[in-house]
Every structure is written in C-alpha cells, then in structure tokens.
Amino acid sequence: MFKPKGSYKPKFPPKGAENSSGRARGLVYKQGYISPREKEEILQYLNTLYPIWEMRYSKNNPPPENQKQRPLLRPVYWLGNWQFACLNYYHPPKGIYNRCVKAEGYPPILEYLVQKIETLVHESFEPRDIPRGWHLNTCLINYYGNQIQEDGKRLDCARVGEHKDFEPGPVASISFGERALFQFVSSKGTESRSNVILQQWLDDRSLQIFGGEKFKKHLFHRVQRVDKKEGHTFPLNEISNFETRRINFTFRYVPDEHIVPFKHLPNEAQEDVRGYMEKLAEHSEFFKSQL
C-alpha cells in the first residue's frame, strides 16, 4: 500500500483556481480543483497499482443471445469494493447482492480529497438528493487510451458508451491528463439517435459532481472522446498493449452491507472472479489475504 513520505499536510488550490460552470441544480464542475502537488502525490500512488483487463462475461454469466464475449475497452482498478464486470455491477433494486467484493481502501491523499468532496456535496445538493448514510466509499479508476493491436496498429478506445451509474446518490469524478468530452443524453441508443442535453469538457485536475433526478436518474451519460492535444501519457505496470492518456477516478456510494469479502460470494461467483483475484493478489497483500 502506498504511503506518502512524512505526514500529509492538506494544501488547497490557489485562490482563483476553482472555476465553476454548469449552474443547473445537480451538477458541479470545478476546474483546477486538484492542486499540482495533490496530482503529483496521486500519480505516485498510481505507480504502485497493477490495473487488470477484465472480460465482460464469464462461465456462469455468459453473453446474452446474439452477443459475444469481449474484453472491456480499458484496464481498470477499483478501491473500496471491486465490481467485477462479469458479476454485472451494482444495479438496484434487484442487482445489489453478490456484486461488490471488498477491495483495498483509499490512500491518505484520496481520503483527504473524498472528505473535502463530500463536504462540497452537502453544501451544493438538496438533502433529498443525498441518501441516508451516503459516503463515497467506492472508486473506479479508468485508464483511457489506445489498445495496441498484434500488428502494431493503435485502436483509439478512449470513450464510454451511454449508461447510468446506479449507485445511490451523487457521483464525483476527478480527471488527469487529456481533456474528455462528457455528455448527458436523453435516450440510450446510437450516436445519431441520442439527444445531447448538456456537454462539458473535463480538464486535467478538474472535479465533476452530478446527482439528483435530472442528471443521475433521468439522463444517460457518456465519454464521447478524449483529446490528444497535450501529449499526456501515463505508464501502466505490466500492461504493454495499452497507451494511457487520461485517468479518471469516479467516486460512488454502495451501502456497506452490500459489500462482501470474496469468501462470502456464492460458489459460482467465486469461480467466475477467482482468476482476477489471484492476479490482483500477485501485487496486493490485501487481495492475497482475501484468498
């Protein structure tokens, strides 16, 4: 587990670094929210992680009819709990059990930022949009960039299709690297059929928070594309077939009672994700203890 040198002393962004846009209720965007020093410490922590590739389906959760097994578009790493793709993620009201496997906790720098973001949420959102017990106990780290094919060609897969985050309450994300075009759309479908309601460029070191009826429950969202203008690159441990130019941390809330140790999963679910757990355990004392 990463430990910063010495005691961590919070340092707020300089005056004027936080510029808000998206005044609609339920949406907050702050440019430059993460200070350069905080970014440097987070990137040092990322250098200690070993992201993994996941497949969308598994032996006990096969692809639906007319679909094929496929890998995700990007490597990932989860903190707080690991929502393996083949366990179908967390999806209330029916998909709440045996979806979220206990994972490593946050390093001090992220603990500090999460507390700060949670305070901002309570200041910016209506009480009815914040569930009882809400806290940002889950983080998905997405690595956006190019898949390198066997013939050496680079496939740009820095995008996320239209979807909703079903975890209760507001969702917060911080971004590093190339800016990304984030869109809220009114219907799930092909690009030509989707109606873009609002879009926002997510810049390096920015914070975005969205929640409430409109942005969380009614609209879908997607990452339409990621720029290539600034030349940002990030190394990945033990992954040689991917080039990363953007990293995003998405913080969410999963009720604590729905997060279980690996050994408490049903046998079929254990069978489906054991290989991932063993891969993670190669570099993580926590995951090694879970086996």
Least trusted range by pLDDT, from 13-27, 78-92, 260-274, 277-291: 13-27
Mean pLDDT confidence for 253-263? 97
Q: Is the pLDDT of residue 6 over 90?
A: no
Q: Is the pLDDT of residue 159 over 80?
A: yes
Top-confidence residue, 9 or 91 = 91
Backbone dihedral region for residue 228 (phi beyond 0: left; psi -120 to 50: alpha; all else: beta):
alpha
Q: Provide the pLDDT for residue 190.
A: 55
- Res. 2 pLDDT band, cuts 50 70 90: very low
How far apart are the C-alpha atoms of 60 and 58, rounded to whole Å?
Answer: 6
**Span 60-111, pLDDT tens digits:** 999 999 899 999 999 999 999 999 999 999 999 999 999 999 999 999 999 9
Identify the structural domains of the chain with CATH numbers, from first to last.
19-177+203-220+228-290 (2.60.120)
Tell me the percentage of the chain whose pLDDT exceeds 90.
Answer: 86
User: CA nearest 27: which of 164, 142, 129?
Assistant: 129
Kindly state the DSSP code that residue 261 receives in the 8-state scheme. -
Q: Give bridge partners of residue 172 from the DSSP assignment.
A: 209, 251
Cα 229–234–239 angle (5° rounding)? 125
